[in-house]
């Protein structure tokens, strides 16, 4: 329904109500559509007056909707009035009203009241991250940086992920201040981005850039750039951190893969203890490998070719330079069939090591284990994104480690139709540098994504902000 | 100073405020400045009188009327206990129009507080809300039905039908007896069917209750069938959640139930080579129903799709496994291939009686498939891909060539 443009008299509301198909929810529907159309609040007021007159009371849901309209239009005095009314009528409010009040008040000169409200919510539940965002923004806007940082740390303590907008506020409202302590705190936020592999969006990146450049006497200069495949920044010629994991991270990841992915709740779900043991001795006796190949995945690369031919091509392609190859497959590949021809299998087995798992076992956990066991130089080949195995890892730090390792070590083949007769595959190389916020003290490199760019979790942004200090 | 402030606040609220609020004037948070601005507004009030216009803030007056009493009780704002606080919060959510149940017990409230996240809380509340709604609807329908029956009875009472009533009663009772007799016989001579009750720790509380519900349904189907199974509940531990839920459902009838419940594993009860574990993850597809084998069904409701749990159990014990030939007989469209326990029971009972897969697979929910397959699947797939490629207009020539080739082959064969 279309809300009226001008305030109506009671009788007119009555008439409208009766013409509506279900009169019992008329007011709710009307107020909702007022919010959608951003109607003038006088119209809403006249509706509330009508309701109050005819019933002597206004339902809470209507009050909240009216509040939403006020917040949407930034009517501070109304919001304050609403707070008074609601506070007296009801002992506590619920999260929806609190969120609205905080959002509305934090944008006004009554922003301190938003903080009082935040305290009030904490007594009954965890405030939402957007409520925190509003308060942090309000505090930053009024140069109460200590308060803003306090709220930020409180969020982290409560395991709430701060919104990017809240983080951006810190950079927006601290320009031009020279303070070692403040600088340290803002670097802390950049490290938070690094630790959680969060990429700022373009406007946030601009805020960071402007903040750096505004530090008096800091001599920071920022440039937007693309990093080359070699991992060298074209602006400052600095080599980015490589994607290798530290010894400790590497061992940690390997332990966790064995524990969570291979064994999980029950070793029998993906393999069996006997089979895994056999595989372990097989790998130990032939270490180390340079490339581990998911045979079945690679064999399905081109639909029109026989599966064994696909695998044969891939092995030939990778066997150059005396790389030690391990191919993982399943036992059914050994049975002579049109897809798996025996002579070709024989020929392949001369060029690479093969391990055949049971037909009902999963081969991916073996792939991960063999690669991790062979050492940091070892890469693996599959087009699988390995999302399900990542999901088996129990905590987000290990999942991040896994992604990082995967970016550095996975080779994916894509067959291209155009160059079919020239080269068989397009090889997507593993990235040599690590795509996270990073610093060397006098340089910062920050990857960012443009706002509308669609990015999958396994992809990393290719655009970077390079900030360097000119001594 | 503070007491003076509150006094001011009270005066302002009780007497002048409704007046002032009428004009939607801007108020400050601090009561002292509020009284200041009040006087300002009073002046304005004299200058213009909106008599014929709509009084837009009149509702505020209504909302604030009768405030004195309320505000006094609220002013003694004491710390709420978490439980009472949660109850309060739910009350407000209800007012705000969220899906919250009308009544909530202490136990449910505790569950609500212990939910690990906000979304879990929301889900739990919605679950309770819907449960309440269904219950209410059922009750309403029951009452309607009773009323209808009463009316009918009144009509019928004009006729003499005492006999018919007693006849119905007699029939139901003897049916029960006959069923029990058949089940008792099956417990001596019948084929065994095992429910594996060892998945308790793989499930949430709700999943366990759903499981038991499904088993209760299965048991009743079995009891009423012409040739029932001898049901075994294996690995059923004393004091387990399964057991508690069973007793909740059956009450005292649990001890009289014509099934064999044991805490032993099926491998201890039956010879291993006779057992077949039914699991959707099995690579082997069941071809026929074997009357000499003992089939095992995992008593597990798996809402979060943990693949391979029951297959792992069978692998560990070295048992044969089988899956229903769903793909072979049905054009599967959507949904997981794991069926509910009562559906499995229906299917197995039908297979046992008739050996007819088509009849048995009638019990697979219709939403999961789009009909029975009347040709072998690989042929169907071929035509399907043919249609698809034709639709897409890709590789048309190739298909035409292939067609021509096949055609010429056919000709030469003739």
Distance between start and end Cα atoms, chain A: 65
Burial of B309 (0-12, 13-18, 19+ CB in 10 A): buried
Name residues 353-382 of chain A within 8 A of B (Cβ).
359-360
Per domain, the residue ranges of chain A are 163-242+430-470, 247-427
pLDDT tier for residue B401 given thresholds of 50, 70 and 90: low
Tokens (6 digits) for A152? 């930020």
Cα B309 from chain centroid (whole Å): 22
Q: Is B187-372 in CATH node 3.40.50.150? A: no
Highest average pLDDT, of A353-367, B125-139, B181-195, comes from: B125-139
ipTM of the complex: 0.76
A266–B312: do the CB atoms touch at under 8 Å? yes
Q: Of B296, B300, B116, B280, which Cα lies nearest the Cα of B202?
A: B300
CA distance B27 to chain A (A): 6
pLDDT higher than threshold 50 for residue B40: no
User: If you average pLDDT over residues A198-205, what whole number do you get?
Assistant: 91
Question: How much is the average pLDDT of B142-153?
Answer: 90
What tokens were used for B9? 């606040």
Residue A19 in this model has a pLDDT that exceeds 60:
yes
Q: Transcribe B114-153 into DSSP letters.
A: H-SSHHHHHHHHHHHHHHHHHHHHHHHHHHHHHHHHHHHH
How many Cβ pairs closer than 8 A exist between chain A and B?
Answer: 123
Q: Which residues of A touch B74 (CB under 8 A)?
A: 87-88, 91
Res A179: pLDDT: 87
Q: What is the pLDDT of residue A185?
A: 92
On the question of pLDDT at B396 being above 90, the answer is no
Q: Which of B25, B67, B308 sits opposite A88 (nearest CB)?
A: B67
Architecture of the domain whose range is A247-427:
3-Layer(aba) Sandwich (3.40)
The answer to whether the CB of A270 falls within 8 A of the CB of A365 is yes
Cβ contacts (< 8 Å) between B86 and chain A: which residues? 124
Chain B environment of A61 (Cβ under 8 Å)? 95-97
Q: Number of C-alpha atoms within 13 angstroms, CB side, residue B269?
A: 21
pLDDT band at A418 (very low <50, low <70, confident <90, very high): very low
What's the confidence (pLDDT) of residue A444? 93
CATH 1.10.3720.10 fits A163-242+430-470, yes or no: no
Nearest Cα neighbor of B316 from A272, A180, A264 is: A272
What is the C-alpha to C-alpha distance for residues B15 and B17, in angstroms, rounded to an integer? 6
pLDDT, tens digit (0-9, with 9 covering 90-100), for B49-59: 344 466 777 77
Alpha helices in A292-341 (DSSP H): 295-299, 307-318
DSSP string, A114-173: HHHHHHHHHHHSPPPHHHHHHHHHHHHHTT-HHHHHHHHHHHHHTTPPPPHHHHHHHHHT
Where do the domains of chain B lie?
96-159, 187-372
Helices (H), B225-262: 241-250
Q: What is the pTM of this model?
A: 0.73
Partner A contacted by B116 (CB < 8 A): no
Q: Is B320 on the interface with A (CB under 8 A)?
A: no
Tell me the DSSP string of B145-157: HHHHHHHHHHHHH
Which pLDDT tens digit goes with each residue over B180-200?
888 888 888 889 999 999 998
Q: Are A62 and A97 in contact (CB under 8 A)?
A: no
Cβ contact (<8 Å) for B89 and A265?
Answer: no
């Amino acid at each position: 329904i279309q809300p009226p443009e001008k305030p109506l008299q009671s009788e007119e509301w009555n008439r409208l109500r009766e013409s509506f198909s279900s009169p019992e929810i008329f007011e709710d529907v009307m107020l909702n559509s007022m919010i959608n159309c951003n109607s003038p609040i006088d119209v809403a007021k006249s509706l509330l007056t009508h309701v109050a007159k005819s019933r002597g009371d206004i339902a809470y849901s209507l009050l909240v909707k009216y509040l939403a309209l006020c917040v949407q239009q930034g009517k501070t005095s109304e919001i304050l009035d609403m707070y008074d009314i609601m506070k007296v009528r009801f002992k506590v409010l619920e999260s929806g009203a609190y969120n609205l009040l905080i959002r509305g008040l934090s944008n006004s000169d009554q922003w301190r009241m938003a903080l009082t409200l935040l305290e009030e919510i904490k007594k009954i539940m965890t405030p939402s991250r957007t409520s925190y965002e509003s308060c942090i923004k309000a505090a930053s806007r009024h140069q109460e940086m200590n308060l803003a940082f306090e709220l930020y740390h409180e969020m982290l303590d409560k395991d709430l992920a701060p919104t990017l907008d809240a983080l951006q506020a810190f950079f927006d409202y601290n320009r031009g201040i020279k303070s070692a302590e403040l600088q340290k705190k803002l670097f802390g936020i950049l490290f938070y981005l690094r630790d959680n592999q969060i990429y700022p969006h373009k406007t946030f990146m601009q805020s960071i850039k402007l903040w750096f450049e505004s530090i008096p006497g800091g001599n920071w200069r920022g440039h937007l750039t693309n990093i080359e495949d070699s991992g060298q920044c074209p602006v400052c010629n600095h080599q980015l951190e490589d994607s290798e994991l530290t010894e400790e991270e590497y061992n940690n990841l390997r332990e966790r893969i064995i524990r969570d992915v291979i064994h999980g709740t029950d070793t029998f779900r993906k393999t069996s203890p006997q089979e895994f043991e056999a595989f372990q001795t097989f790998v130990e006796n032939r270490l180390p490998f340079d490339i581990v190949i998911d045979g079945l995945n690679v064999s399905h690369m081109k639909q029109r070719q026989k599966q064994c031919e696909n695998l044969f091509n891939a092995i030939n392609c990778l066997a150059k330079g005396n790389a030690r190859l391990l191919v993982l497959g399943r036992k059914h590949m050994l049975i002579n069939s049109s897809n798996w021809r025996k002579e070709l299998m024989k020929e392949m087995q001369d060029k690479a090591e093969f391990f055949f798992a049971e037909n009902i076992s999963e081969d991916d956990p073996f792939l991960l284990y063999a690669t991790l066991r062979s050492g940091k130089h070892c890469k693996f080949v599959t087009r699988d994104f390995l999302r399900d195995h990542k999901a088996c890892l129990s905590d987000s730090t290990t999942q991040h480690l896994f992604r990082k390792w995967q970016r550095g070590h996975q080779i994916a083949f894509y067959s291209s139709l155009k160059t079919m007769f020239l080269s068989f595959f397009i090889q997507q190389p593993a990235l040599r540098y690590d795509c996270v916020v990073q610093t060397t003290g006098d340089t910062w490199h920050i990857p960012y994504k443009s706002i509308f760019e669609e990015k999958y979790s396994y992809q990393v942004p290719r655009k970077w902000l390079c900030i360097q200090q000119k001594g | 100073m503070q007491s003076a402030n509150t006094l001011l606040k009270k005066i302002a609220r009780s007497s002048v405020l409704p007046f002032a609020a009428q004009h939607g004037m801007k108020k400050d948070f601090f009561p002292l400045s509020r009284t200041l601005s009040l006087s300002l507004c009073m002046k304005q009030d004299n200058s213009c009188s909106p008599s014929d216009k709509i009084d837009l803030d009149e509702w505020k007056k209504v909302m604030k009327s009768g405030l004195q009493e309320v505000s006094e009780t609220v002013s003694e704002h004491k710390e709420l206990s978490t439980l009472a606080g949660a109850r309060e919060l739910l009350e407000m959510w209800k007012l705000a129009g969220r899906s919250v149940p009308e009544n909530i017990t202490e136990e449910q409230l505790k569950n609500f507080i212990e939910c690990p996240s906000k979304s879990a809380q929301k889900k739990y509340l919605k679950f309770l809300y819907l449960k309440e709604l269904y219950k209410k609807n059922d009750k309403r329908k029951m009452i309607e039905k009773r009323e209808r029956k009463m009316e009918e009875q009144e009509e019928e009472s004009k006729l003499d039908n005492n006999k018919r009533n007693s006849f119905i009663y007699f029939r139901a009772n003897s049916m029960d007896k006959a069923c029990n007799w058949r089940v008792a016989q099956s417990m001596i001579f019948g084929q065994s069917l095992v429910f594996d009750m060892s998945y308790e720790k793989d499930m949430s509380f709700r999943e366990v209750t759903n499981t038991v519900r499904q088993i209760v349904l299965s048991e009743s189907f079995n009891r009423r069938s012409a040739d029932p199974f001898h049901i075994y509940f294996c690995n059923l531990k004393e004091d387990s959640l399964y057991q508690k839920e069973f007793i909740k459902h059956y009450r005292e009838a649990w001890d009289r139930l014509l099934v064999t419940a044991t805490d032993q594993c099926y491998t201890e009860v039956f010879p291993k080579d006779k057992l077949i574990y039914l699991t959707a993850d099995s690579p082997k597809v069941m071809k026929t129903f074997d009357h000499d084998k003992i089939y095992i069904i995992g008593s597990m409701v798996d809402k979060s799709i943990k693949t391979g749990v029951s297959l792992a159990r069978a692998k560990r014990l070295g048992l044969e496994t089988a899956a229903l030939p769903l793909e072979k007989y049905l054009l599967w469209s959507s949904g997981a291939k794991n069926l509910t326990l009562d559906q499995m029971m229906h299917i197995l009972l039908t297979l046992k009686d008739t050996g007819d897969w088509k009849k048995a697979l009638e019990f697979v929910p219709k939403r999961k498939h789009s009909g029975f397959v009347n040709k072998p699947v690989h042929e169907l797939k071929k035509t399907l891909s043919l249609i698809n490629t034709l639709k897409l207009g890709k590789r048309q020539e190739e298909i035409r060539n292939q067609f021509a080739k096949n055609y010429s082959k056919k000709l030469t064969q003739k």
